[in-house]
Amino acid sequence: MISRSADWKHALATAVRDPADLLAELTLPDHLLDGARAAAGEFPLRVPRDFLARMRQGDPDDPLLRQVLPCAEEDLEVPGFVADPVDDMRARRGPGVLQKYRGRALLVVTGACAVHCRYCFRRHFPYGAENAAQLGFGAALAWLAEAADISEVILSGGDPLMLDDERLADLIRQLSQIPHLKRLRVHTRVPIVLPGRVTDGLLAALTGTRLPCVMVVHANHAREIDNAVAGALQRMHRAGITLLNQAVLLAGVNDDVQVLAALSEALFAAEVLPYYLHMLDPVQGAAHFAVDDGRALALLDGLRGVLPGYLVPRLVREIPGADAKMPLTAVEKPD
Ligand SMILES: *Cc1c(COP(=O)(O)O)cnc(C)c1O
Ligand code: SF4
């Protein structure tokens, strides 16, 4: 396994960014290229070769590919699918700080990600203006120091593990000096798409603090968790990090009971418990990933029928203005 910082930075630098390269690498037909190029103009393609290597050759419907390949459907205007579906701008508390829920504040530490997920609810987020790393963390830390009711800080983005070990360790050191903070949470997809990022330096940064660390990773399909990923997750678990997963329910990727059950099993084998299964946020360009409520609830019922309760994720939706992520419940049918 790669574990030095030079290696993961090299892996990032050599990620596939040209749709033509992605199609060629996977021996996919050329007719996908025009749509991919057009959509990539809006939100660029980015996929590390490590993740690409887990996709099937010649299969345009591969569930991993579908998450990252720009396509013509992204250009469709669909009513209800908007630029900021979760009303992040209203939750802004300071430069790079969002608060929606009691006791928890989210820090947008960087706009960068190791992979670009086509369904991302932040695909239109104005990172230039809302990126604590770019501004320096001073103002965000000052806000947190004043916010005595915040007990948990969530490093998010973009992807916080795009920061190097020194910057992360420095940020975490400063957070640990804020007395009312009790927990550090990290929301990241990096250990899934680039397991080599889990270096000794990263483990030291995350565990060398008084703040217990909860990491919420993001995998949507069991095939994302190969041996290298499982190894990286197991190392973090052994280092004392609590590991959870959030997935997004995505048409053509994981909208199937067997697929979701296999994901939970693969996560558990890698020391990760399923946390949330999110309904797709209605972000412009992602309507082709939507699964309707009725099907989502039926899938959840199916999962309950085959898995122990602790491997069934909470099916939730973000409702702008609500005081928590809301569980999906059966719609009352009139008699
Ligand atoms: C989702 C989210 C959280 C975390 O919510 P939990 O239910 O605690 O996982 C915190 N802050 C913001 C702004 C969020 O969007
Ligand atoms: S890694 Fe997360 S924030 Fe980055 S594009 Fe994917 S879903 Fe969005």
CATH number at residue 267: 3.20.20.70
Asked if pLDDT for residue 3 goes beyond 80, the answer is no
pLDDT at 134: 65
The ligand 1 atom at the shortest distance from the C-alpha of residue 98 is 13
Q: Do 29 and 129 lie in a common domain?
A: no
**Which tokens hold the place of 57?**
């050759």
pLDDT at 234: 98
Q: Which domain holds residue 56?
A: 4-75
Instruction: Flag whether 332 is in a domain.
Output: no
Q: Do 195 and 259 lie in a common domain?
A: yes
Residue 333 Cα to ligand 2 midpoint, Å, equals 36
Instruction: Flag whether 334 is in a domain.
Output: no
Span 310-320, average pLDDT: 97
Asked if pLDDT for residue 240 goes beyond 90, the answer is yes
Name the band, by pLDDT with cuts 50, 70 and 90, for residue 136.
Answer: confident
Instruction: Tell me the one-letter amino acid at 69.
Output: L
Residue 156 Cα to ligand 2 midpoint, Å, equals 10
Span 257-278, average pLDDT: 98
Query: Structurally, how many domains does the chain consist of?
Result: 2
Q: Residues 13-72: pLDDT tens digits?
A: 999 999 999 999 999 999 999 999 999 999 999 999 999 999 999 999 999 999 999 999
Q: Do 178 and 300 lie in a common domain?
A: yes
b/e per residue, 221-253, with b = 16+ CB within 10 A?
bbbbbbebbbebbbbbeeeebbbbbbbbbbbeb
pLDDT at 304: 97
Residue 171 Cα to ligand 1 midpoint, Å, equals 20
Q: Do 52 and 168 lie in a common domain?
A: no
pLDDT at 329: 83
